[in-house]
């Protein structure tokens, strides 16, 4: 292309191109001021990328030709590479994105009447090793970059049809895919910044939820930096059981986690914390557990979201019976604790909570298998 004609190989190899997809407004303002440009260029470029779906700088017609040439030389807009897209019978869509080294992360879109929720990943694998989680079983590989986190939203937004009212399909974003978002704090914070920006996705804080297994100091930091909705993966009403199910509890026990949660809620009036509770048969689903849980959450700004356990290969836990889940929920209600049961969506394409690593592990296993075979036959 003529714009790129002046680019020399040495220019290309000296400086890696900067991916504008993962830059916040402030990052872009700094970038443009370094080029002697006005700060408002940041907003223009964000709108082109996130709202007007530009794929090339040449489409950004309100930038001067010379600035576009400069952008070609220095920058790129690179979305994560899609490995596959699957659509479930219930309308759920799951994408698998390449994340290098034979690994992949997953993103799931869940359409519901009145809203469309995108569930995104923040890490490749997870180090926290919760006993019932496929991502945990996979182990930790690496943190996703800002562009890889935001890119899941950008890709989905570009590939989902508008809602009947003409608005974008994605009304809510939840960090409930693979990884522990608060263990990738800096990148998640920048990604949140872009999701909330009026020049990108313009989502309200209420409609963006970070789910954490309970990294207490980071909960405090998130509350100060960006008070989005918070979901806490509690899963057990006492430390003895939680130590086993969610090992980070040994470092940050329930009392500390709840203190941090109430402080987080207090930073905004009328803000509830959602407590996720995976229903594991005969493990955490008795009436006594419901009573203990209610004891922790009663008269607090708390809602409980019961998640029927989603089984996966190599894990021995079982899902609680539906009567047990109903009884548990009624008991919480009896104590005045608001609770809902999450409907399992997309399980025919392994897109339900905690199933997200299945395909990845299989892929990795296949590759390792190939390698072993090659070594064996070499
Ligand atoms: N790491 C974060 C967010 C990702 S997990 C966290 O733990 O909160 C999103 C939710 O799915 C968490 O509540 C997690 O505990 C739950 N989950 C994990 N494995 C599951 C499984 N097999 N069945 C049902 N829910 C599961
Ligand atoms: Fe990590 Fe969350 Fe899975 Fe625990 S439940 S291993 S924190 S992804």
Query: Mean pLDDT per 10-residue run, the chain (378 residues)?
Result: 33 75 98 97 98 94 96 96 93 94 94 95 97 95 98 97 92 97 98 98 96 98 95 98 98 98 88 96 98 98 97 95 98 98 76 55 37 26
CA 222 to centroid of ligand 2, rounded, Å: 18
Predicted local confidence at residue 14, as pLDDT = 61
CA–centroid distance, 33 to ligand 1, in Å, is: 42
Q: For residue 13, count other CB atoms closer than 10 A to its CB.
A: 8
Query: Does ligand 2 lie within 6 Å of residue 214's CB atom?
Result: no
231 lines ligand 2 (CB under 6 A): no
Centre of ligand 2 from the C-alpha of residue 276, in Å: 12
The values of phi and psi at residue 189, to 5°, are -65, -45
User: What superfamily does domain 82-377 belong to in CATH?
Assistant: Aldolase class I (3.20.20.70)
pTM above 0.85, yes or no: yes
Which option is the CATH number for 18-76: 3.20.20.140, 3.60.20.10, 3.30.70.100, 1.10.150.530?
1.10.150.530
Which DSSP string do the residues of 243-295 spell out, in sequence order?
Answer: HHHSGGGGTS-HHHHHHHHHHHHHTSTTPPEEEEEEEBTTTT-SHHHHHHHHH
Name all residues whose Cβ lies below 6 A of ligand 1: 130, 132-133, 176, 180, 211-213, 233, 276, 278, 307, 309-310, 353-354
Contact 198, 226 (CB under 8 A): no
Q: Where are the alpha helices (DSSP H) in the chain?
A: 9-14, 25-34, 40-46, 65-74, 134-138, 146-159, 185-196, 216-225, 239-245, 254-266, 287-297, 322-334, 358-377
If one counts every other C-beta atom within 10 angstroms of the C-beta of residue 167, the result is: 10
What is the phi/psi pair of residue 245, to 5°?
-80, -40
pLDDT at residue 248, rounded to an integer: 98
- From atom 21 of ligand 1, which residue's Cα is the shortest distance away? 354
Distance 68 CA to ligand 2 centre (A): 42
3-state secondary structure of 102: coil
User: Helix axis angle, 185-196 relative to 146-159, nearest 10°?
Assistant: 40
* Domain span(s) for CATH 1.10.150.530 in the chain: 18-76
Hey, whose CA ends up nearest to atom 15 of ligand 1?
233
Q: What are phi and psi of 279, to 5 degrees?
A: -90, 105
Calpha distance 3→51 (Å, rounded): 24
Q: With beta carbons less than 8 A apart as the criterion, state whether 364 and 110 touch.
A: no
**Is 86 buried (19+), middle (13-18) or exposed (0-12) by CB count in 10 A?**
middle
Ligand 1 mutation pick, 120, 121, 135, 176, max ligand atoms within 8 A of CB: 176
Measured from the Cα of 211, ligand 2's closest atom is 2
Tell me, in angstroms, the distance from the centre of ligand 2 to residue 180's CA.
6
Distant-in-sequence, close-in-space partners of 171: CB < 8 Å, separation ≥ 6: 115, 116, 117, 163, 203, 207
Ligand closest to Cα of 136 equals 2
Residue nearest atom 6 of ligand 2, based on CA coordinates: 136
Residue 302 CB-half CA count within 13 A? 28
No. of H helices and E strands in the chain?
A: 13, 14
User: 52 with 67: CB under 8 angstroms?
Assistant: no
**Ranges in the chain annotated CATH 3.20.20.70:** 82-377
pLDDT of residue 91: 87
Q: Please, which residues have CB within 8 angstroms of residue 27's CB and are 6 or more apart in sequence?
A: 190
**Nearest ligand, measured from the Cα of 233:** 1
Q: Which residues of 253-278 are buried (b: 16+ CB within 10 A; e: fewer)?
A: bbeebbebbeebbeeeeeeebbbbbb
Ligand 1 closest atom vs CA 211 = 8
**pLDDT value of residue 353:** 59
Residues known to be catalytic: 106, 353
Say yes or no: CB of residue 148 within 6 Å of ligand 2.
no
Residue whose CA is at the smallest distance from ligand 2 atom 4 = 130
Whether 126 lines ligand 2, by a CB cut-off of 6 Å, is yes
**Chain-centroid distance, C-alpha 7:** 37
Reduce the DSSP state of residue 149 to 3 states and report it: helix
DSSP 319: B
Q: Which ligand lies nearest the alpha carbon of 316?
A: 1
């Amino acid at each position: 292309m003529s714009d790129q004609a002046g680019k020399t190989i040495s220019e290309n190899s000296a400086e890696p191109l900067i991916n504008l997809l993962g830059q916040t407004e402030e990052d872009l303002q700094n970038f443009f001021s370094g080029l002697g440009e006005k700060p408002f260029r940041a907003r223009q470029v964000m709108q082109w990328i996130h709202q007007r779906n530009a794929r090339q700088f040449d489409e950004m017609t309100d930038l001067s030709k010379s600035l576009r040439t400069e952008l070609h030389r220095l920058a790129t807009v690179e979305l994560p590479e899609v490995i596959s897209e699957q659509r479930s019978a219930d309308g759920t869509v799951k994408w698998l994105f390449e994340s290098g080294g034979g690994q992949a992360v997953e993103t799931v879109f869940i359409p519901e009447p009145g809203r469309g929720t995108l569930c995104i990943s923040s890490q490749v694998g997870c180090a926290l090793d919760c006993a019932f989680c496929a991502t945990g079983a996979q182990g930790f590989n690496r943190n996703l970059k800002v562009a890889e986190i935001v890119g899941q939203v950008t890709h989905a937004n570009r590939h989902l049809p508008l809602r009947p009212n003409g608005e974008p399909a994605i009304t809510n974003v939840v960090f409930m895919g693979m990884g522990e978002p608060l263990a990738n704090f800096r990148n998640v914070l920048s990604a949140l910044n872009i999701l909330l920006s009026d020049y990108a996705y313009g989502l309200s804080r209420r409609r963006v939820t970070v789910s954490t297994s309970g990294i207490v100091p980071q909960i405090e930091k998130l509350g100060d930096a960006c008070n989005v909705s918070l979901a806490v993966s509690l899963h057990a009403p006492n430390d003895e059981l939680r130590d086993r199910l969610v090992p980070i509890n040994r470092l940050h026990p329930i009392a500390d986690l709840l203190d941090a949660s109430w402080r987080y809620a207090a930073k905004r009036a009328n803000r509830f914390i959602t407590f996720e509770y995976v229903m594991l048969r005969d493990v955490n689903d008795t009436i006594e557990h419901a009573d203990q849980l209610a004891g922790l959450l009663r008269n607090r700004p708390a809602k409980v979201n019961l998640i029927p356990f989603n089984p996966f290969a190599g894990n021995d836990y079982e899902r609680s019976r539906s009567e047990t889940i109903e009884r548990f929920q009624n008991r919480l209600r009896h104590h005045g604790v608001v609770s809902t049961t999450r409907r399992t969506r997309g399980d025919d394409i392994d897109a339900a909570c905690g199933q997200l690593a299945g395909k990845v592990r299989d892929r990795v296993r296949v590759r390792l298998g190939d390698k072993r075979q090659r070594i064996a036959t070499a």
